[in-house]
Amino acid sequence: MTALPPDLFHETAARNAGAARIFGLDEVGRGPWAGPVVACAARLTGPAPEGLTDSKKMSPKRRAAMAPLLRACCEFAFGEASVAEIDALNIRRATHLAMQRAVAGLRLLPDHLLIDGNDCPPWVDCPRTLIVGGDGLSLSIAAASVLAKTRRDQGMVALAQQYPGYGWETNVGYGVRSHRDALERQGVTQHHRRSFRPIRNMLCRP
């Protein structure tokens, strides 16, 4: 059975409970071996663009076309946690930090957060709804996921120009074969997550 597209069910429930500023909150980049984790808080201020869905279900070309449409109809802010912060804190806490920075970057704080997943960051002190698979269910979270994904991908493309050979312009830091082979040839960079086992094992070789 074909999955239904994301909708405004959760946004409507929050609005009926008295919230006015309802934001979707999502992150990208927990799994890659290189680069930051990026979060976005987004609120639709107009009709959602046609075809908006979970960023993972969209091709790079579709995401690139969708991002400017979302920027025109959303209030949003980004937050990042660096590779150094990921290594110092662990990826879960660094993800929470990126999310906190995204929310802190908003013009006004939210009345309600719709958060993708089931892991509520400890700093959240406003009403919230945790939604597993939220980027495929809530249009606000879907918007946040697309904006965060395109932002992070653009950053990795820029890094690829400074560190050619790792394939970051296409693999955006994930541990695919081309990336693993490049690590064997060229070694570990300052943008690799040394706390991640594959990178740590490489550095610990005699």
pLDDT tens column, 87-101: 999 999 999 999 999
The CATH number given to whatever domain includes residue 137 is 3.30.420.10
Strands (E), 30-134: 37-44, 74-81, 112-116, 128-131
What confidence score (pLDDT) does residue 151 get?
A: 98
Total structural domains within the chain: 1
Q: What residues make up the domain containing 124?
A: 9-151
Give me the pLDDT at residue 205, please: 79
Report the binding-site residues for a divalent metal cation: 26-27, 116
Closest by CA position to 32, among listed 88, 95, 96: 95
Is residue 16 assigned to a domain?
yes
Condensed to tens digits (0 to 9), the pLDDT of residues 169-195 reads: 999 999 999 999 999 999 999 999 999
Antiparallel, parallel or unpaired: β 74-81 and 112-116: unpaired
127 domain-assigned: yes
**Residue 1 pLDDT > 60:** no
Domain membership of residue 46 (yes or no) is yes
Give the integer Cα–Cα distance in Å for 89 and 161: 28
Tell me if 138 is assigned to some domain. Answer: yes
What does the pLDDT look like over 104-155, one tens digit per residue?
Answer: 999 999 999 999 999 999 999 999 999 999 999 999 999 999 999 999 999 9
Taking Cα atoms as reference points, which of 137, 109, 134 lies closest to residue 120? 134
Predicted pLDDT of residue 2: 60
* Helix, strand or coil, per DSSP, at residue 153: helix
**Percentage of the residues of the chain whose pLDDT score is greater than 70:** 99
Residue 115 lies in a domain: yes
- pLDDT tens string 9-51: 999 999 999 999 999 999 999 999 999 999 999 999 999 999 9
Q: Write out the two tokens for 166.
A: 């790792």
User: Do the domain assignments include residue 182?
Assistant: no
Tally of CB atoms within 10 A around 12: 11
State the pTM of this model.
0.95
The per-residue pLDDT for 4 is 86
Residue 103 domain flag: yes
In a domain, 204, yes or no: no
